[in-house]
Amino acid sequence: MPGTNLTRDEAATRAALLDVTSYSIDLDLTTGDTTFGSTTTIRFTCAEPGADTFADLVGAEVHEITLNGESIDPATAYADSRIALSGLAAENELVVRADCTYSRTGEGLHRFVDPADDRVYLYSQFEVPDARRVYTTFEQPDLKAPFTFNVTAPAHWKVVSNSPTPEPEPLDEGRAVWRFAPTKPMSTYITAIVAGEYHEVQHVYHGKHGDIPLGHYCRQSLVEHLDVDELVKITKQSFAFFEEQFDYPYPFGKYDQLYVPEYNMGAMENAGCVTLRDEYLPRSRQPRSFYEFRCSVITHEMAHMWFGDLVTMKWWDDLWLNESFAEWACYWCEAEVTEFTDAWTGFANARKQTGYRQDQLPSTHPIAADNYDLQAVEVNFDMITYAKGASVLKQLVAWVGLEPFLQGLRQYFKDFEYSNSEFSDLLAALEKASGRELSGWAKEWLQTAGVNTLSPVFELDAEGAYSSFSVSQSAPADWPTLRRHRLGIGLYDEVDGRLVRRTSFEVDVEGPTTQVAELVGEKQPDLLLLNEGDLAYAKVRLDERSLATGIAGLSKLDDSLARAIVWGAAWDMTRDAEMSATDFVALVLANIGQETDAWGVSRIPTYALQAVNLYSAPEHRAELRQRFESGLRELLLAAEPGSDQQLTFARTYAAVAHSDQAIADLEALLDGGLEIEGLAVDQDLRWTLVTALAVNGREGDRIETEAAADNTISGQEHAAAARASRPTAEAKAEAWELAMVRDDVANETQRSVVLAFQRVGQDDVLAPYVEKYLEAADTMWEEKGTQRASTALEFIFPKQLASQELLDRVDAWLESSSANPAAKRYVREGRADVARALAAQVKDAE
Ligand SMILES: [Zn+2]
């Protein structure tokens, strides 16, 4: 029984048989609050008349199926999310009339009623296989076709899709129909429908290949937060950059960006109809890293218009390439043409760290995963796909050179426009352009898992110069591949109180030991930095002197990327139990006040918080937490008024607050008794403070008061999170019900509860949830679906109860449970985090 699965072989068989001529989809969004009408007409040819195949449709009530004018009984033909089609002709017309269900999980056609004003908003989200929740499909990326959408909706709504929005034709009873023109050929997963009482603003980009209409949309209750000038500026900068660099006109006519509610990811690259989470239109003060990330998202989705939408992967095996490319391209674009010129430093401080983390979990996999079916795609879609993939593409660009890389890319877009390709096609184009053989490179980087560690090994002569120098490369035992790296090396000396770069150069590292002749005879610097420029994807180690220099004087280093490498090395060493949590926290407290990189400022304090909560030895955790709390208080009070540092320190102070003084501070900030110059205690910061009080059981009636004053969906989500944070058995029971049991809780509310559930210092009330978690993991994937189950199982794992006993219990479960592999994966990852924490705790106890 296939359920909702689909194998690569089935897809290949179907693609060999069929050629889809066109889709015509009629949606009626006026039939009620829970379902909508969906009539699909697919015209397609069949290479072997008489053959059988199937179409896809999930969770629908099918009223009528007609194939080539002959009626088929849905009761027999529609089962397991498939419509069986037999006796195909050379040319076919399939018509399916059905009712489909609105989603509350962000999968398919999501329906949202804004609590602020009761207005209705819909949007679709289809990647990977969810177009089939909205219309009848051949749900695989390589059966591209033009799509014609006809949408019936209330006449006062906006309706947006991949084609430009037509004038609606009025119908009776306040309804209208929007008849969209056929799209360019595209895959089902990038088609889209967004409808509702959205606010709309239109601009035009005058580009080198002509005009592109730019629409921006959001909910009515967010209009005041739609900073459209900024969004348009970034959009225009990115279009100018990509049209020039890719040497190919934007392929989809108009470009709408729609900020939508309760969105699961950052955004989705629907062709010409990009959807983004509407938290990106913030109502409260946000640090620069927030805007830097939003800019990354905007440019990432735009890069997909060429890489993904114009040229599309044949099957999900190349999903990594799709995402890695968009990731790499977005940072490249951001650094080149937007105000976020330090984007690669931000990448090193934040995004790349998520790739390193993921790659050291037991669930790691080669970047190019073997996605033999849709379930495998679910298991393999993670930060290897995005962050590691982008890091490795950055390394590839360093390996072949940017210009040859772009030459190959430009040819690739032309050769595969509006069709499908595989990674080997791109590799061939790059080999041709660069003259470098790349299949060996691809094999070691893409078909093997794990991260290498690069360390300096040297001897000094009597004068303190290097008499020998090599880079030593190691690999974890489970993933023993050693790779070729293009590696930057930087030498820094302390001059007049600053750490100044003496020189830097690049070398090719290969095998366990690479001699670096350039350094022989060179005087040992105060700081020797491997991975200068962050070209390599590898963990790096600092020698003893360099580590001492880095720790004592990180803020003397002017280059933000060089600092990011030192921060990263220190964090790595802490996670690897080579540096104590206590030392890492001291490093952060001493240097974060002078950090200038936006991501460094906002992300590094969260690493320190993790060091306190998870990696500190239990016997001095209370003392370290107190030191961190006091240190943050000092940093907060000393920070420049209105700065990002000030905001971040306020948030982190709230997150660690536990002493009576800190609690009193939070209360006073909320009540106005304490004012910190430049720190606006706005709605989101108020929720941060209220939640911090709730964690400590000191919230009183503040949650309900705050919720009453903040009648928005964010307010409801924050309130749910604050309630879930409370240290009582009743609060946890109520939160568990919302997060794990009920089906009517919207995706983003569930996520808020899940993220708030596990708290440090609540061991007594959380202890019973180890068994409950494992019990849920047994069946949750099947019972709750991908979105709910993955969110819950990843983030509600009882990590901070780290103990040998917990490891043993989880091991026993892993041994005996027959849970879905995707569910087991999250349990295995949680277990690995616990094991890592226990090792780090031992180091910290020394
Ligand atoms: Zn993407």
Looking at residue 1, its pLDDT comes to 40
Contacts of 603 (CB under 8 A, 6+ apart): 289, 349, 350, 353
Q: Would you call 846 a catalytic residue per the annotation?
A: no
In the reported structure, the alpha carbon of residue 321 is separated from the centroid of ligand 1 by a whole-number distance in angstroms of: 10
Altogether, the residues listed in the chain come to a count of 846
In the reported structure, the alpha carbon of residue 190 is separated from the centroid of ligand 1 by a whole-number distance in angstroms of: 11
Spatial distance between the Cα atoms of 84 and 81, rounded to a whole number of angstroms: 10
DSSP assignment of 36-61: EEEEEEEEEEESSTT--EEEE--S-E
In the reported structure, the alpha carbon of residue 256 is separated from the centroid of ligand 1 by a whole-number distance in angstroms of: 16
Looking at residue 654, its pLDDT comes to 98
- Structure token digits, residue 643: 């700065």
- Structure token digits, residue 819: 């849970």
In the reported structure, the alpha carbon of residue 322 is separated from the centroid of ligand 1 by a whole-number distance in angstroms of: 7
Q: How far is CA 738 from the centre of its chain?
A: 24
Residue 279 is classified by DSSP as: G
From the list 301, 431, 699, 706, the catalytic residue is: 301
The number of beta carbons lying within 10 Å of the beta carbon of residue 622 is 12
DSSP assignment of 526-550: SEEEETGGG-S-SEE---HHHHHHH
- Structure token digits, residue 59: 């969770």
In the reported structure, the alpha carbon of residue 794 is separated from the centroid of ligand 1 by a whole-number distance in angstroms of: 21
In the reported structure, the alpha carbon of residue 388 is separated from the centroid of ligand 1 by a whole-number distance in angstroms of: 14
Candidates 132, 261, 221; CA nearest to 746 is: 261
Spatial distance between the Cα atoms of 798 and 758, rounded to a whole number of angstroms: 6
Residue 388 is classified by DSSP as: I
In the reported structure, the alpha carbon of residue 775 is separated from the centroid of ligand 1 by a whole-number distance in angstroms of: 34
DSSP assignment of 308-351: TTTEEESSGGGHHHHHHHHHHHHHHHHHHHSS-TTHHHHIIIII
Upper half-sphere CA count for residue 310 (Cβ side, 13 Å): 22
In the reported structure, the alpha carbon of residue 300 is separated from the centroid of ligand 1 by a whole-number distance in angstroms of: 6
Question: Across 222-310, where does the E strand assignment appear?
Answer: 255-260, 267-268, 273-277
**Cβ atoms 827, 806 nearer than 8 A:** no
The single-letter code of the amino acid at 752 is S
Looking at residue 2, its pLDDT comes to 53
In the reported structure, the alpha carbon of residue 576 is separated from the centroid of ligand 1 by a whole-number distance in angstroms of: 30
Question: Three-state SS for 453?
Answer: strand
Residue given tokens 């890695």 in the structure block: 324
Candidates 578, 502, 507; CA nearest to 539 is: 578
In the reported structure, the alpha carbon of residue 189 is separated from the centroid of ligand 1 by a whole-number distance in angstroms of: 12
In the reported structure, the alpha carbon of residue 205 is separated from the centroid of ligand 1 by a whole-number distance in angstroms of: 23
In the reported structure, the alpha carbon of residue 772 is separated from the centroid of ligand 1 by a whole-number distance in angstroms of: 35
Q: What angle do CA 495, 525, 475 make, to 5 degrees?
A: 135
Spatial distance between the Cα atoms of 342 and 216, rounded to a whole number of angstroms: 27
Spatial distance between the Cα atoms of 585 and 751, rounded to a whole number of angstroms: 29
Looking at residue 299, its pLDDT comes to 98
**Cβ atoms 697, 726 nearer than 8 A:** yes
- Within the chain, which residues score under 70 in pLDDT? 1-3
Spatial distance between the Cα atoms of 249 and 246, rounded to a whole number of angstroms: 8
In the reported structure, the alpha carbon of residue 356 is separated from the centroid of ligand 1 by a whole-number distance in angstroms of: 19
In the reported structure, the alpha carbon of residue 533 is separated from the centroid of ligand 1 by a whole-number distance in angstroms of: 25
Residue 307 is classified by DSSP as: B
Spatial distance between the Cα atoms of 240 and 732, rounded to a whole number of angstroms: 51
